[in-house]
Amino acid sequence: MTKTNRKLKNILVTGGAGFIGCNFIHYLMGESTAGGESFTDAKFNGTIVNVDCLTYAGNAESLIDIEQKYGGSRYFFEKVDICDRPQIERILKQYDIDTIIHFAAESHVDRSILGPEAFMKTNVMGTFTLLDCAKNYWKKEDGSIRDDVLFHHISTDEVYGSLGETGYFLETTPYDPRSPYSSSKAGSDHIVMAYFHTYGLPITLSNCTNNYGPYQFPEKLLPLMISNIRDGKNLPVYGDGKNIRDWIYVEDHNRGVWQIVNQAEAGTKWNLGGENEWENIKLLNTVIDLTSKELGKNSEDVKKTITFVKDRPGHDRRYAIDCTKIKTELGWERKMTFEQGLLATIKWYLNHSEWIEHIQSGAYKDWIEKNYKEQGR
């Protein structure tokens, strides 16, 4: 375990109104969405500044409880695009930011195929803008960078490409991205590392598998399926449904991020995952069984609504991550079993239909109509 002298006092969280970011803010503030004692160990008493431009996947409603309890004292929201350099410069100075935790990203693979430009702008240029502003703000009079600051970059296992039936992604696995989304994240990862090697900017980087849990945008697999089961709609599955993904509960991921930020040496890269591989079709059948039970529906009838649709272009077959490094070097461990987490997630979505309905109005609905109708979704 490395001892760092990082301040970790005034933290800028980008994308804090999105799925993983809003759960991270809840975790840091000791307001875990999971309840219980598993995720109450952040011990953070500083200030969070949430920068989010509230595009389709950002929802300020996800943080109403934080705003009511800490708004104006320990929590501040800035509706700002991370590509807006003057605004980012202002925020760093105004709040005396010493730590940046960068979640903000365009993240839906289907959207990246249909409209890649937004992904390049946010994921590549947005990350560059943040890094460059941080470098300038954290520069000392002698030109060197302070050592009590940190830029942590959140990335994905998709940058590694696709695995065969065996093997796991390591931190040293060469990058081989296959979609506009994963290539934009790979590009941002390289820029982050370049700012460490070239300018000495203190950075850490994490690559994570599929997250699940509360507050996830309803176009993603689990919330989409839970909502469609509730509403009696078809359940679309790409290709043959045998693509394999590794699933991690969002707060287990966020605990790992916080451990990295607190303990890891600058310039290091870490894999985070659930070590919990599921074929999409098997996962869907499990979700149908659990959700049907909660709703009092017949699961066999619901399974008849599974609809196989044309596969996504460049659809990676299998992702799986090896987390040995973070477990052995930082002592990270998962607190939530998949069985517990999946049931808690299903119950959360069924109990928060208003939250989903508010998101599914307006721009999101228009986009779905335009882009998915021809796929039978």
Predicted local distance difference test score (pLDDT) of residue 354: 81
Task: Give bridge partners of residue 13 from the DSSP assignment.
Answer: 50, 101
**Who has greater pLDDT, 58 or 318?**
318
Predicted local distance difference test score (pLDDT) of residue 363: 53
Predicted local distance difference test score (pLDDT) of residue 94: 98
Q: Which two tokens stand for residue 220?
A: 């993603």
Mean pLDDT of the chain: 90
Percent of the chain topping pLDDT 90:
73
* Mean pLDDT value of segment 86-109: 92
Predicted local distance difference test score (pLDDT) of residue 312: 67
* Mean pLDDT value of segment 347-358: 87
Confidence of residue 369 (pLDDT cuts 50, 70, 90): low
Domains of the chain: 10-212+249-275+314-336 (3.40.50.720)
Are 26 and 32 in contact by the 8 Å Cβ rule? The answer is yes
**From 110-114, 145-149, 231-235, 284-288, the region with the lowest mean pLDDT:** 110-114
Q: Give the chain's end-to-end CA distance (angstroms, integer).
A: 48
Q: At which residue do the structure tokens 């820029």 appear?
A: 191
* Mean pLDDT value of segment 169-190: 95
**Who has greater pLDDT, 221 or 348?**
348
Given the residues 52, 158, 171, 246, select the one marked as catalytic. 158
CA angle 128, 133, 138 (to 5 degrees): 125
* Mean pLDDT value of segment 123-134: 98
Task: Please state whether 98 falls in left (phi above 0), alpha (psi between -120 and 50) or beta.
Answer: alpha
Contacts of 329 (CB under 8 A, 6+ apart): 1
Biggest alpha carbon–alpha carbon distance for the chain:
70
Q: How many Cβ atoms are within 10 Å of 223's Cβ, its own excluded?
A: 24
Is 238 one of the catalytic residues? no
Confidence of residue 371 (pLDDT cuts 50, 70, 90): low
Predicted local distance difference test score (pLDDT) of residue 108: 62
Confirm whether pTM is higher than 0.85. Answer: yes
Q: What is the DSSP string of 205-254?
A: EEEE-EEESTT--TTSHHHHHHHHHHHT--EEEETTS--EEEEEEHHHHH
The answer, yes or no, to whether residue 2 has pLDDT greater than 70, is no
The answer, yes or no, to whether residue 185 has pLDDT greater than 80, is yes
* Mean pLDDT value of segment 169-176: 96
The answer, yes or no, to whether residue 235 has pLDDT greater than 90, is yes
* SS3 state of residue 38: coil
**Who has greater pLDDT, 366 or 91?**
91
The answer, yes or no, to whether residue 11 has pLDDT greater than 60, is yes
Q: At which residue do the structure tokens 């930020």 appear?
A: 261
Confidence of residue 372 (pLDDT cuts 50, 70, 90): very low
Is 157 one of the catalytic residues? yes
Is 158 one of the catalytic residues? yes
* Mean pLDDT value of segment 348-369: 72
Given the residues 78, 81, 157, 252, select the one marked as catalytic. 157
Predicted local distance difference test score (pLDDT) of residue 1: 45
Q: Which helix (H) or strand (E) holds 203?
A: strand 203-208
Task: Please state whether 54 falls in left (phi above 0), alpha (psi between -120 and 50) or beta.
Answer: left
The answer, yes or no, to whether residue 346 has pLDDT greater than 70, is yes
The answer, yes or no, to whether residue 360 has pLDDT greater than 50, is yes
Given the residues 75, 160, 168, 181, select the one marked as catalytic. 181
* SS3 state of residue 296: coil
Q: Which helix (H) or strand (E) holds 191?
A: helix 180-199
The DSSP secondary-structure symbol of 215 reads T
The DSSP secondary-structure symbol of 124 reads I
Predicted local distance difference test score (pLDDT) of residue 16: 96
**Who has greater pLDDT, 194 or 354?**
194
Contacts of 315 (CB under 8 A, 6+ apart): 238, 239, 243
- Smallest Cα–Cα separation from 372: which of 218, 236, 182, 252? 236
Predicted local distance difference test score (pLDDT) of residue 37: 81
- Backbone φ and ψ for 100, nearest 5 degrees, come out as -120, 125
Confidence of residue 57 (pLDDT cuts 50, 70, 90): low
Please state the separation of Cα 287 from the chain's center in Å: 21
What is the Cα–Cα distance from 154 to 91, expressed in whole angstroms? 20
The DSSP secondary-structure symbol of 143 reads S
* Mean pLDDT value of segment 125-151: 97
* Mean pLDDT value of segment 7-13: 98
Predicted local distance difference test score (pLDDT) of residue 377: 39
What is the Cα–Cα distance from 305 to 253, expressed in whole angstroms? 32
Q: How many Cβ atoms are within 10 Å of 319's Cβ, its own excluded?
A: 22
